Amino acid sequence: MSGQAIRRPEWRPGSVSNNGIRLATYELGDPSKPTVLLVHGWPDSHHLWTHVAPQLAQDHHVVAYDCRGFGDSDHPDGDDAYRLSELADDLFAVVDAISPERPVHVVAHDWGSVTGWEAVARPDATARIASFVSISGPNLDQLGAWARDNLSRPTPRRLALSLAQGGSSAYTAFFQLPVLPKLFFRIAGSERLWREFLHRVEGTPRENATFQPNLRTDMISGLRLYRANIRAKLGNPNPRPTSVPVLEVINERDIALRPAIFDDTHLYAKRLWRRRTPTGHWLPLTRPDYVAALAREFVAEQSANATLEHPSKFARTRVVGPPNRLTGRLAVITGAGSGIGRETAYALAERSCELILADLDLEAAEETARETKRFGAQATAYQLDVSDTAEFAAFAARVREAHGVPDIVVNNAGIGLAGGVLAATDEQVDRLLDVNLRGVVTGSREFGRQMVERGVGGHIVNIASAAAFTPSRSLGLYSASKAGVLLFSESLRAELAEHRIGVSAICPGLVDTNIVSSTPIAGLDADAEQSQRDRLDRFYQRRGFTPDRVASEIVAAIERNKAVVPVTVEAKVGYRIYRFAPWLSRIGARQKVTG
């Protein structure tokens, strides 16, 4: 959105009344289309949706309203008028007025989302609300129950999580004071200061910040939300279940809400989906395209068009148990038909990722896909020759169209080549570099561009090798290809850091996979080559380091955003020797392993 002029929506204004409180409403789009209701939080008004609403209005009936106490709606006196029960009544009054015959899809942010949770927990909610997208807004009853559970069964981790959330929520205590908050916002509640705050904290372009005419008034009036609800809900929580389909959007860089507070949502939402990204609190301002796409896809997920035969792009994010950091992520793995690629698929399937499995051997990829079903994962197999740049680019485009932009990409496909550098043929050298290096570069570039354009981060894993920093006269060309992967990954990591896209280089050592049994050895006749391969294969088998252990390191690298991961003991030792005593590596390189 940076650098683009704001095009304000041509809203059709109206109003709805609830028990004498007038609520200003704003409509876009064709009323015959499915209705999406947008609900804002503090200190915003309907202007929060300036960049989101026009995109949704292309194929939806879009309605936003100023919540009571904000914008052009009435500002009733007293704290009691701002209890969540009253706000939920307002939401249903708007729903009944704008779509009396069909339930609506609610997309809400901050206190709008808190209100949405109150509404969907009512017994008759499913008849009036078709789905609920919750952005940066917890269910206060669930939050209170979560806090009580942590304090009643304290562990170091639980206490740390509670303290972290307490620190992030410290402002809510200030907001409940009788005089100081009002004085503070009378001084600091200007449009210019608020734009600067959002720019520095959220990265919102100053020129694209929405204009809110009564911002200072809304800031002060909205303080009643905190006084009317925080102590009452957290002190006496009453979490209730909901059958309304819920999409929970969790922002890892949210200044007010820590991701851990949403861990128990699955206990109350019977039909729960989630998306978790390294983004901040005001997602409708910073990534409006992403919010619009999420809402559009989720509405489609709940429609009759989303079938088992043709599932929507949202099928992967269904939460059926306690979530983890990778729940709902879309992962692409090349070389997924065997070895490290297959075990990585299993490891990510266990963490509730959707899988796109590519391999030159389609049958092997399909077998991996079938096996991942035992973890309840959704997996799709594709045939792919990573050395063919045009084919790889077409594959990346196909993935985006059919499944969406991946959150995780594991460039694992690789081949081996042993023997002397001088003995290798040009064809062997070209094939090695095309698969091991160019394939990794192409996968990183194609999917990296998609991640940057989407704007909500991601992670790229490139499989290098301990050979990248362990020179050997018998693996010179293979080492060169993997050293290229390592340095390419380190450089790409620096380039993509500003986009919150992590890049990890994984450097296994002696791992028992089928790459050894299929590695050509330059300079030998067929019989001698097979004999040497058999000898190396037996050695790797005796070493006994299995690919599932590498897969565990890959998952850890994704979760912790590690840069370089030597995996086996020999890889870790070799990495440090090459860094601190490279002369030892050079002596070891003279030992003839094969060829």
Residues tagged active-site: 478
What distance, in Å, lies between the first and last C-alpha atoms of the chain?
57
Q: How many CB atoms lie within 10 A of CB 183?
A: 11
Neighbouring-strand partners of residue 264? none
CA distance 386 to 440: 8
Of 308, 244, 315, 321, whose CA–CA distance to 88 is shortest?
A: 244
Q: How many CB atoms lie within 10 A of CB 74?
A: 17
Task: Tell me if residue 461 falls in helix, strand or coil.
Answer: strand
Which alpha helices (H) appear in 404-472, and where do they start and end? 426-433, 439-454
Rg (CA), the chain: 28
Of 435, 461, 436, 439, whose CA–CA distance to 392 is shortest?
A: 439
CA distance 127 to 125: 5
CA distance 479 to 326: 32
How far CA 570 is from CA of 152, 287, 516, 589, in Å, comes to: 46, 44, 17, 14
72 alpha-carbon distance from chain centroid: 36
CA distance 512 to 361: 20
- List for the chain the helix, strand, coil content (%; round to 5): 50, 15, 35
CA distance 456 to 406: 11
